[in-house]
Structure 1
């Protein structure tokens, strides 16, 4: 099936945000005249202080790119004194590296901090370390370019064998068995992967390791473990390479794939509802420190016709204690806006992501309240 790039103009983002904030302004009490309520009366509310001034510097996850553009445009429309700079070119790996170096106020990452990174974060964040806050829910899309084949289903086992390079042609019996009645060419398969440290790769290899350890014998990792693929930087690089060559297949966050053709996985197409169903069915909080909300999927529960099998959760990672209280206030304000009902609605409309459930948003707001 084809997905359409749902990124829109800043005017649309602002319209969505202000329309929803208008719904709640009459129901807010006890706030100063410089504060603006940013979410609707129903759901998780974040109150913005429009007197804030300064610059938030962040970067990382390219999966979050469209959502970050939307969030930033809507946020600064209400808090005009704040500038938000998010560098999507870094990828999740670069985002975490720069954050640990003290260059970013928060990192965008499609996977939570690893144990050694959590330990390292105490250097910039104090003994509490960092908090992984899940603010973006989407899915890893399997995209392909095979002229004449407009609909393709791939089972988990077939995906594992394609990406471990043991299936090398498109008319392989395993692919044919997944697609009865479809005429498949003998074209050689070119597998396109990420060259940079990638949370999308981490999520994809988490899936492969869990669902087919017989065929996928490599550890889950944010770096691609197999030589011999067409390695590209960033999700956009993967999408461009797949689009440029017949017989290609790759993986990318679904919001980044534009008009690329995506396969169904175990006969399930990506949708916002299917991603939400995956979160509800299989995600569990596995905290690394007090207030941390790292999530882990039980892939054995991600089955059935209404659950997308390769969900992707992306995080904004912040310090428990900032060295600069002013930056703490700015970052808490922005992340709190993102982790509100309106923030999630903006991402859903403009990036095609699935809203994080309100129950989790409430937990994020609680965690943010402890940040100093």
Structure 2
């Protein structure tokens, strides 16, 4: 391009001129340069309400729970902003946070908020700042099952805990039968599947079990699986695939993976008048009561896993995008802010709401929208 040999100041001037021309001709504008500027310029709005600024690769990694959402967002964002390439690798929340603290990615997806020691570790890569949690993808953990002849299954906290800790081993166990009167449960061994990788999905499931099992789950909430026995698989996609293939199996995945694989999801007896089905609408009832527990720019949420409200599904999760509040790399900061501005938009939240996720309530998205422009 002719302006590449020009000075940085001249190059920025030419780019601004080209942007203005594009706006006049087509009504859309996607910036294509990450050159740092001493004069902050407003992001250019496209006809799809996507703001483009910066160029090059934007790398992220972590949560597999949000993988389907990221795919949807990448497609829309890339179409509007071809100068920016978003590459997101899964590997689980634990791996994502590790890559972030090693400075390998601009953002990490994690289904659990940063712990104090993890925040401390981020300071090595966030010069003058630290990592913060920005809630971006809301969803629910579906207890998926593959039991011949059983189309609807009701479970509760103590029963789920004992199944995944190998203390309930048969499908016709009295505890399961009591929750499912009239259902013909087979005299078959339960094949329980859990995550092999450090997972925020596991952290949210075990937080639910710790809050609702009455001590039947004897382990603290953790990304690392602690239950006894069972089989393991990597990522949400791996667990879903195994449940689909293995007779008399049970596992836990996000609702989007349950839907993609046509898996049945258990209803949860919470103490509400009726067992609560694993639907996005029911999870939204739980998120509506979520409170921000973080301080400053950190927007970690407090989720009520022990809710007994009618129609409130209790096993919910939120995926946070972990970013630096200060000290982001100048080369990727414009693209990072552009992408996050889009993903928290009403348009983007509604787009993933059609694929098994839960659009975040306005009370939360408004707070995230206020933080993103302040990233530096």
Q: Normalising to structure 1: TM-score of the pair? A: 0.85
**Which structure has the higher relative contact order (CA within 8 Å, separation 6+)?**
1
The 8 Å contact of residues 43 and 51 in structure 2, kept in 1 or not, is answered as no
Partner of 1:259: 262
Matches within 5 A, 1:1-372: 34-36=44-46, 38-39=48-49, 48-49=51-52, 52-88=54-90, 90-257=91-258, 258-266=261-269, 267-281=275-289, 283-287=290-294, 289-300=295-306, 302-349=307-354, 351-372=355-376
SS at match of 2:337: helix
The 8 Å contact of residues 154 and 264 in structure 1, kept in 2 or not, is answered as yes
SS at match of 1:123: coil
Alpha-carbon shift at residue 38 of structure 1 (Å): 4.5
SS at match of 1:108: strand
- 4+ residue runs of structure 1 moved beyond 6 angstroms? none
The 8 Å contact of residues 203 and 224 in structure 2, kept in 1 or not, is answered as yes
The 8 Å contact of residues 63 and 110 in structure 2, kept in 1 or not, is answered as yes
Query: Quick check: which has more Rg, 1 or 2?
Result: 2
- Taking a change above 3 Å as real, the CA distance of residues 172 and 32 of structure 1, as seen in their structure-2 partners, is closer
Alpha-carbon shift at residue 212 of structure 1 (Å): 1.5
Q: Normalising to structure 2: TM-score of the pair? A: 0.84
Give structure 2 stretches of 5+ with no counterpart.
Answer: 1-26, 29-40, 270-274
Cα distance in 1 between the residues matched to 2:51 and 2:328: 22
Give structure 1 stretches of 5+ with no counterpart.
Answer: 1-24, 40-46
Alpha-carbon shift at residue 214 of structure 1 (Å): 1.6
The 8 Å contact of residues 38 and 337 in structure 1, kept in 2 or not, is answered as no
Could you report, residue by residue, the CA deviation over 1:316-341 in whole angstroms, capped at 9, with x for unpaired residues? 11111234223111101101110111
CA-atom RMSD in angstroms: 1.8
